[in-house]
Amino acid sequence: KRRAQEADVAEPRNKLARPALSLPTDPALYSGPFPFYRRPSELGCFSLDAQRQYHGDAHALRYYSPPPTYGQGPKFDLRDGYPDRYQPRDEEVREGLDHLLRWLLDHRGQLEGGPGWLAGAIVTWRGHLTKLLTTPYEQQEGWQLAASRFQGTLYLSEVETPAARAQRLARSPLLRELMYMGYKFEQYMCADKPESSPDPSGDVNTNVAFCSVLRSRLGNHPLLFSGEVDCTDPQAPSTQPPTCYVELKTAKEMHRPGHWRSFYRHKLLKWWAQSFLLGVPNVVAGFRNPEGFVCSLKTFPTMEMFEYVRNDRDGWNPSVCMNFCAAFLSFAQNTVVQDDPRLVHLFSWEPGSPVTVSKHQDAPYAFLPTWYVEAMTQ
């Protein structure tokens, strides 16, 4: 039986060692002890405005402002304002790593970790790492990650699979409204200023985003990644990011033990992976009834999520998620040997199969923009 470690044999990068051709994803191969994961520290942040323009500041950060806990519970109508007060982001625009690269370009001179830290790091979106973490348990959606090495650094940028694109273009009216409802919940729970209250009368514009940029390390892989943050809690015990951040989520109201079980096995895994990577300590869930109203809230501490599936044979295991991610990063580091911003190794995965690789030059897969490559070459 092949063991997870075998994918690591080409470490360190060595032109004589032949990298593996594929990487298996079976959970049983990754059930070792939990690997080292450095406590993520925030290096900086940026905001995207209503026109999706980049700003090197925190103006889009919102403040956690839950309803009072006394009296009746909330009655948030998540369908209110749909579709007339909805300004959805144009999903045809492929942004790749652009916003993160803009931040990196502006701050490359001030990075901690010493000279050469960036050259040994992996740069990507938190959302891409989330997909890697959940891969051993994912049975529905595959992914593709494009990888390029430039000045030593390994950049990873997701490519929309043909199946995902087809699904997006065929998204049903019901699903579109459900997407809106997730953002509408944020509007009911967040204020624009720490001392003010939520204002659900305005538009829901999904171009707006606050992104935190963090440094971490998984095993021997230094990481620099960015992730969208829903809000900060002005009353959090520590005001230091990312520990003051709060992730907001909606889920269906559940009434039978079987519904909760399934929620713990599937949704909670994704919530855990997303928030654990960034170091967000709490996820606040709003449960919506069939009429689209949130009438109850529940806080799930990220570090307690695994307890819901610890004794479940069909549950997930954080060690498996992190060990697989580490194995994938080693696999990618060993595969992408040539330093060339126009060369792309495309890692592809479909449920039930191993991760495979193909090699491409320039368009359509190259993703490091000329403005970035030229500025970094100065």
By CB under 5 A, name the binding residues for Mg ion: 228, 230, 248
| Interface stretch with ligand A3P, choices 18-26, 79-87, 143-151, 177-185 (CB under 6 A) | 177-185
Counting every residue written for the chain, the total comes to: 378
- Report the chain's C-alpha Rg in angstroms: 21
250 binds, among Mg ion, ligand A3P, none (CB under 5 to 8 A by kind): ligand A3P
Name the minimum Å distance from CB 210 to Mg ion.
9
For 42-59, b/e burial (b = at least 16 CB within 10 A) is: bbbbbbbeeebebeeebe
Whole-angstrom distance, CA of residue 298 vs CA of residue 301? 10
Segment interacting with ligand A3P (CB under 6 A) among 11-19, 101-109, 246-254, 326-334: 246-254
Nearest-approach distance from CB 212 to Mg ion, in angstroms = 11
Nearer to ligand A3P, 10 or 277 (CB): 277
Q: Residues 344-375, buried b or exposed e (16+ Cβ, 10 A)? A: bbebbbbeeebbebeeeeeeebbbbeeebbee
Binding window for ligand A3P (CB under 6 A); candidates: 28-36, 101-109, 179-187, 361-369: 179-187
Closest distance to Mg ion from the beta carbon of 228 (Å) = 5
Among positions 58, 179, 236, 376, the unique one binding ligand A3P when judged by CB under 6 A: 179
Instruction: For residue 362, give Cα distances in angstroms to 132, 152, 197, 268, 336.
Output: 25, 19, 49, 38, 15
**Short-list 243, 231, 241, CA closest to 192:** 231
Identify the CA nearest to 294 among candidates 79, 88, 71: 79
Candidates 25-33, 44-52, 244-252, 335-343 — which segment interacts with ligand A3P by CB under 6 A?
A: 244-252
**Binds ligand A3P by CB under 6 A, chosen from 32, 88, 113, 182:** 182
- 138 makes contact with ligand A3P (CB under 6 A): no
249 binds ligand A3P (CB under 6 A): yes
In angstroms, what is the minimal distance from the CB of 230 to Mg ion?
4
Binding at 63: pick from Mg ion, ligand A3P, none (beta carbon under 5-8 Å per type): none
Q: Which strand (E) or helix (H) includes residue 266? A: none
Q: Which does 179 bind (CB under 5 to 8 A by kind): ligand A3P, Mg ion, none?
A: ligand A3P
Per DSSP bridges, beta strands 153-159 and 122-125 are: parallel
Rounded least distance, CB 230 to ligand A3P, Å: 5
Q: What are 53's two structure tokens?
A: 């323009």
Q: Which residue has the tokens 């309803």?
A: 67
Of 308, 306, 329, the residue nearest 318 (C-alpha):
306
Does 183 bind ligand A3P (CB under 6 A)? Our answer is yes
Q: Is 293 in the site for ligand A3P (CB under 6 A)?
A: no
Region 197-236 residues binding ligand A3P, contact defined as CB under 6 A? 230
SS (H, E, C) 271-299: HHHHHHHHCCCEEEEEEECCCCEEEEEEE
Least CB distance from residue 284 to ligand A3P, whole Å?
A: 10
Q: Which residues bind ligand A3P (CB under 6 A)?
A: 179, 182-183, 230, 248-250
